[in-house]
């Protein structure tokens, strides 16, 4: 992969004027309305007439909706975000039809993300100043980091989070993203809760427990919110306070994971992780909060795209691979290994730290598949010398 083909989104905070905030709020509302109307039309067409409606048909519908007296307000905002939301709906249906996502849902005024996407015809970007369609003044953006030299945004997404903060995301081609020099190092990574992750080198990375640090503040804010009358201004203020605490937790978590994944990708050519189904694991009520705070899925997503950017190899070992119960020294397989067992001694006399041993086994399994190809069946020895075959799918 060459750097010229990598598209990156650079996100910045900005502070709109009252007029800009009002315009953007109207745009968010119109985007939500058009999306819901199009979803309803597509759903009814299939349910009543077994007819599939595509983007072109909903685009024609949008033209007619604008002509109606009831929906004339759609003409007051830029047409670009409205067309983009129809494209997003088309993409949502495409993912549903190939079974990558569930059926698209209607956007809620209170719960759905407030955002609008502009293509090049909907904004002007000159000399570091961004002006959106229907606006006379450029946005007051806090440029916390520079855009790549000579970069020109292809799309701009404006959003407002639950805490009331405004953000603008610029999608640009970043030629500076290039494969890093090749290394001969590989690392197995075992994620956990006591430690965020354990590396096959023996290093243990502390779990910062971001949510736990703010749990008392969050609980207090939520109790105060619960006492406010629904629909009142005080409830809206209390809701905003809760959202600010959640935003603080999420920001710190993202920052920590970005630094950690960047370091791992820079230091290792091959990274081996376990293919965990986090969605199923959070159904455990005792562990759901801790697993969500650890953000294993986010960690994996970051590793995936950074490995692709920088020419690294990421291998996911099957979740049923007994990395914790397998002796990394002699290969014998223990029959049981309860979660409360953190150290154990093998029949060969080797005493293992559970997490370090698992990381070493993941590394060995991942490298075996990297060399032999998917579908390899490594031999494992049970206590007593018998071999146990375990299929590993990557």
pLDDT tens digits, one per residue of 72-87: 999 999 999 999 999 9
Residue 179 in any domain: the answer is no
Domain count, the chain: 2
Q: How confident is the model at residue 9 (pLDDT cuts 50, 70, 90)?
A: very high
Mean pLDDT of 167-186: 91
For 141, the domain range is 3-173
Pick the more confident residue, 180 or 3.
180
Structure tokens at 97: 């039809």
Give, in order, the Cα–Cα distances in Å from 89 to each of 60, 78, 103, 123, 218.
Answer: 15, 18, 11, 22, 35
Q: Given the residues 174, 211, 274, 293, select the one marked as catalytic.
A: 274
Whether residues 82 and 206 share a domain: the answer is: no
Whether residues 247 and 225 share a domain: the answer is: yes
Residue 15 in any domain: the answer is yes
pLDDT at 60: 96
| pLDDT for 391 beyond 50 | no
Residue 31 in any domain: the answer is yes
**Helix ranges (DSSP H) in the chain:** 18-49, 55-67, 79-97, 210-213, 215-226, 233-267, 278-281, 288-294, 296-309, 354-372
Whether residues 93 and 231 share a domain: the answer is: no
Top-confidence range, 45-49, 121-125, 276-280: 121-125
pLDDT at 386: 35
pLDDT digits (tens, 9 = 90+) for 356-377: 888 998 998 888 876 665 543 3
Return the number of other C-beta atoms located less than 10 Å from residue 381's C-beta: 17
Boundary residue ending a domain (145, 173, 201): 173
Q: Given the residues 23, 117, 293, 355, select the one marked as catalytic.
A: 355
Whether residues 159 and 287 share a domain: the answer is: no
Whether residues 367 and 333 share a domain: the answer is: yes
Residue 355 annotated among the catalytic residues of the structure: yes
Whether residues 215 and 110 share a domain: the answer is: no
Average pLDDT, the chain: 88
d(CA 166, CA 12): 9
pLDDT digits (tens, 9 = 90+) for 90-131: 999 999 999 999 999 999 988 899 999 999 999 999 988 999
Lowest average pLDDT, out of 142-151, 306-315, 328-337, 357-366, goes to: 328-337
Q: How confident is the model at residue 279 (pLDDT cuts 50, 70, 90)?
A: confident
Residue 48 in any domain: the answer is yes
Residue 274 annotated among the catalytic residues of the structure: yes
pLDDT at 390: 35
Backbone torsion region of residue 82, taken as left when φ is above 0, otherwise alpha when ψ lies between -120 and 50, otherwise beta: alpha
| pLDDT for 339 beyond 70 | yes
pLDDT digits (tens, 9 = 90+) for 216-228: 999 999 999 999 9
Boundary residue ending a domain (121, 138, 173): 173
Whether residues 119 and 202 share a domain: the answer is: no
Whether residues 265 and 375 share a domain: the answer is: yes
Q: Given the residues 190, 255, 313, 318, select the one marked as catalytic.
A: 190
Residue 19 in any domain: the answer is yes
- Give the CATH number, domain containing residue 246: 3.30.420
For residue 239, the SS3 value is helix
Q: For the chain, what percent of residues have pLDDT higher than 90?
A: 64
Residue 18 annotated among the catalytic residues of the structure: no
pLDDT at 393: 33
Whether residues 197 and 164 share a domain: the answer is: no
Boundary residue ending a domain (173, 201, 220): 173
pLDDT at 394: 30
Lowest average pLDDT, out of 2-6, 129-133, 265-269, 297-301, goes to: 2-6
Mean pLDDT of 319-331: 84
Whether residues 147 and 205 share a domain: the answer is: no
pTM to 2 decimal places: 0.83
Structure tokens at 231: 């629909």
Residue 118 in any domain: the answer is yes
Q: H-helix or E-strand containing 10?
A: strand 7-14
Is the distance from CB of 187 to CB of 199 less than 8 angstroms? yes
Whether residues 146 and 236 share a domain: the answer is: no
pLDDT at 373: 55
Q: How confident is the model at residue 10 (pLDDT cuts 50, 70, 90)?
A: very high
CA-based nearest residue to 125, from 156, 85, 94, 84: 156
pLDDT at 372: 61
Whether residues 198 and 141 share a domain: the answer is: no
CA angle 119, 125, 129 (to 5 degrees): 135
CA-based nearest residue to 199, from 256, 261, 157, 116: 261
Mean pLDDT of 59-83: 95
pLDDT at 380: 36
Pick the more confident residue, 259 or 278.
259
């Amino acid at each position: 992969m060459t750097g010229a083909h990598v598209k990156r989104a650079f996100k910045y905070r900005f502070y709109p004027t009252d007029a800009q905030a009002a315009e953007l709020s109207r745009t968010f509302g119109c985007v939500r309305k058009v999306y819901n109307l199009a979803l309803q039309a597509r759903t009814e067409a299939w349910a009543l007439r077994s007819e599939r409606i595509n983007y072109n048909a909903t685009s024609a519908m949008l033209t007619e909706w604008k002509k109606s007296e009831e929906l004339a307000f759609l003409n007051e905002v830029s047409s670009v975000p409205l067309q983009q939301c129809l494209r997003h709906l088309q993409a949502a249906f495409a993912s549903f039809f190939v079974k990558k996502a569930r059926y698209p849902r209607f956007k809620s005024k209170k719960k759905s993300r407030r955002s609008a996407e502009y293509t090049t015809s909907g904004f002007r970007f000159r000399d570091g100043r961004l002006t959106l369609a229907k606006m006379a003044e450029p946005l007051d953006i806090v440029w916390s980091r520079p855009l790549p030299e000579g970069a020109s945004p292809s799309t701009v997404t404006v959003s407002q989070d639950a805490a009331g903060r405004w953000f603008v995301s610029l999608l640009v081609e970043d030629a500076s993203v290039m494969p890093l020099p090749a290394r001969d190092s590989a690392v197995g990574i075992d994620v956990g809760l006591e430690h965020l992750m354990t590396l096959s080198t023996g290093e243990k990375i502390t779990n910062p427990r971001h949510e736990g640090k703010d749990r008392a503040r969050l609980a207090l804010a939520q109790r105060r919110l619960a006492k406010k009358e629904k629909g009142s201004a005080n409830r809206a203020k209390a809701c905003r306070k809760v959202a600010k605490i959640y935003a603080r937790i999420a920001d710190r978590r993202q920052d920590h994971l970005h630094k950690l994944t960047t370091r791992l990708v820079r230091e290792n050519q091959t990274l081996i992780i376990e293919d965990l189904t986090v969605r199923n694991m959070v159904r455990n009520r005792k562990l759901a909060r801790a697993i969500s705070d650890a953000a294993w899925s986010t960690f994996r997503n970051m590793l995936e795209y950074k490995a692709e950017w920088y020419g690294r190899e990421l291998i996911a070992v099957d979740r049923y691979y007994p990395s914790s119960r397998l002796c990394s020294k002699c290969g014998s397989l223990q029959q049981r290994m309860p979660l409360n067992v953190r150290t154990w001694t093998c029949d060969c006399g080797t005493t293992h730290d559970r997490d370090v041993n698992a990381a070493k086994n993941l590394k060995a399994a991942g490298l075996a598949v990297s060399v032999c190809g998917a579908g390899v069946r490594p031999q494992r020895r049970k206590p007593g010398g018998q071999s146990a075959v375990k299929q590993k799918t990557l």
